[in-house]
Amino acid sequence: MTKSVQQGSIVSDAASVTDVVLAAMSRTENPRLKEILNALVEHGHAFLNQVKLSDDEYEQGLDFLRRVGLTCTDSHNEVVLLADVLGYSTLVKVLNNSMREDRTGGALLGPFFRDGSPHYELGASIVQEDTTATPIFVSGRVLNIRREPIQGARVDVWQASPIGLYENQDPDQPEMNLRGHFFTDANGDFHFRSLRPAGYPVPTHGPVGDLLRIQRRHPYRPAHLHFVVFAEGHDTLISQIFADDAEYLDSDVTFGVTRDLIGKFDRHEARSGPRPGQQAPYYTLHCEFLLAQGTPTRPVPPIK
């Protein structure tokens, strides 16, 4: 083998493949993109060198990714689900903005965020149908890192129903049920009425479901509320608040539970507690969101 043959994209042996590919990508102009793509190739090749995939295993892996893509629809994103159950999504969140003292931790956006949720006045209910399910009264405050209230922050909330389905998964729920957005008052406060959400299984009809079954993992997430908080001059906060008494709190299939995101869901009997006018048992929850200085951005909805 001559030295001239080893240059360019001609591969001489397994050890040379990584360098050949990196050389082919070397004219990538954007330095950050180049760093990311180079690392993707280096780590991917290291993985292949480590596990030494057979041809059949490699084809199975490629077919799995093909099926992940084919399973996506306007209302279901299997790619996000795969990233979630492999812990990728949580790792990115924790690396970027979670588990810090000076601001509220970030959480997964999840696959069910939608644009265009209704605007409600403070104190309104986001429940759009008659139900006997257990109510929850949620209050919260949006603060900057000096713990000063932020007025006019936009708080988007969405959640699963008491049977564990988001409205766009459930033909029996009205459009945009259990979704809405609010603007904080001069004290940075917001509050609304909803129904206590249930935990739910992630969708298991696709290849990610096959993966969970092979790994003998349950598909459940503990009960939670989703929030996105936007305020001028601050980083957008994507968060989830988990019920402290929820089943699966310590085994979330998407690894979304961090200690700072566990909320105290206080149960009160009828005609007692902070809302003695309630004629049935109910819950209360208070949340605090600390926003870091930055530039607000709007997350891209994974579905319509």
Using the rule CB under 5 A, is 263 a contact of Fe ion?
A: no
Q: How far is the CB of 236 from Fe ion (least distance, A)?
A: 18
Nearer to Fe ion, 109 or 153 (CB): 109
Using the rule CB under 5 A, is 162 a contact of Fe ion?
A: no
**Among residues 105, 106, 110, 111, the one that binds Fe ion under rule CB under 5 A:** 110
Nearer to Fe ion, 110 or 207 (CB): 110
Using the rule CB under 5 A, is 111 a contact of Fe ion?
A: no
Q: How far is the CB of 112 from Fe ion (least distance, A)?
A: 6
| Stretch near Fe ion under the rule CB under 5 A, chosen from 13-21, 94-102, 103-111, 244-252 | 103-111
Nearer to Fe ion, 110 or 188 (CB): 110
Nearer to Fe ion, 110 or 302 (CB): 110
By beta-carbon distance, which residue lies closest to Fe ion?
Answer: 110
Residue 15 CB burial class (10 angstroms; 0-12, 13-18, ≥19): exposed
Nearer to Fe ion, 126 or 143 (CB): 126
Give the C-alpha separation, 135 to 165, whole Å.
16
**Maximum pairwise Cα distance, the chain:** 88
Q: How far is the CB of 108 from Fe ion (least distance, A)?
A: 8
Residues that bind Fe ion (CB under 5 A): 110
